[in-house]
Chain A
Amino acid sequence: MSQDIKEKISLYGLTLSEISAIVKEEGLPNFAAKQITEWLYKKDIDSIDEMTNLSLKSREQLKQKYIIGLTPSMKVMESIDGTKKYLFKTGTNNFIEAAYLPETDRATLCVSTQAGCKMGCLFCMTGKQGFQANLTTNEILNQLRSISEFRNVSNLVYMGMGEPFDNIDNVLSSLEIITSEWGYAWSPKRVTVSSIGIIPAMQTFLEKSNCHLAISLHNPFDDERRQMMPIQNVYPIQKVITEIKKADLGRQQRVSFEYIMFDGINDTDRHIKEMVKLLGGLKCRVNLIRFHAIPGTPLNGTPDARIIEFRNALTAKGVFTTVRASRGQDIQAACGLLSTKEMVKK
Chain B
Amino acid sequence: MNTWNDLKYVETVVIDNINLAQDAFILRFKRNFSFKAGQVVGLGVKTDIEPRLYSIASGENDEYIEILYTEKLDGKLTPMLSILRKGDKILVTNPFGTFTEYSDSPVCISTGTGIAPFISMIKSGKGTNPTFIHGIRTPEYFYFEDILREKLKDNYTQCCSGLNSPKFFNGRVTKYLTENPVNPSKKYYLCGVAEMVVEVRDILISKGIPYGNIISEIYF
Choose the segment among A114-122, A248-256, A318-326 that binds chain B (4+ C-beta atoms closer than 8 Å).
Answer: A114-122
User: Residue on B with the closest CB to A200?
Assistant: B3
Interface contact B194-A200, CB-CB below 8 Å: no
A120-B216, A234-B97 known; A130+B1 contact, CB < 8 A: no
Judged by a CB distance under 8 angstroms, whether B68 is at the interface is no
Judged by a CB distance under 8 angstroms, whether A220 is at the interface is no
The complex places the Cα of A226 from the Cα of B201 at a distance, in Å, of 14
Indicate which residue in B1, B198, B206, B210 contacts A120 across the interface (CB closer than 8 Å). B198
Indicate the size class of the contact surface on chain B: 20 to 34
The complex places the Cα of A118 from the Cα of B220 at a distance, in Å, of 5
CB distance from A199 to the nearest CB of B (A): 8
The listed residue with most A CB atoms (<10 A of its CB), out of B40, B53, B220, is: B220
Judged by a CB distance under 8 angstroms, whether A128 is at the interface is yes
Interface contact A227-B3, CB-CB below 8 Å: no
B186-206 CB mask vs A (1 if < 8 Å, else 0) is 000000011101100110011
The listed residue with most B CB atoms (<10 A of its CB), out of A128, A200, A230, A298, is: A230
A216-231 CB mask vs B (1 if < 8 Å, else 0) is 0000001000111011
Judged by a CB distance under 8 angstroms, whether B99 is at the interface is yes
Interface contact B53-A234, CB-CB below 8 Å: yes
Judged by a CB distance under 8 angstroms, whether B217 is at the interface is yes
Residues of A close to B193: CB separation below 8 A: 118, 130-131
Interface contact A230-B216, CB-CB below 8 Å: yes
A122-B201, A230-B197, A233-B97 known; A200+B220 contact, CB < 8 A: no
User: Residue on B with the closest CB to A131?
Assistant: B194
Judged by a CB distance under 8 angstroms, whether B34 is at the interface is no
Interface contact B195-A130, CB-CB below 8 Å: yes
Judged by a CB distance under 8 angstroms, whether B50 is at the interface is yes
User: Residue on A with the closest CB to B38?
Assistant: A233
The complex places the Cα of A169 from the Cα of B76 at a distance, in Å, of 15
CB distance from B15 to the nearest CB of A (A): 26
Residues of B close to A230: CB separation below 8 A: 197, 216-218
Judged by a CB distance under 8 angstroms, whether B214 is at the interface is yes
Interface contact B202-A128, CB-CB below 8 Å: yes
The listed residue with most B CB atoms (<10 A of its CB), out of A130, A203, A234, is: A234
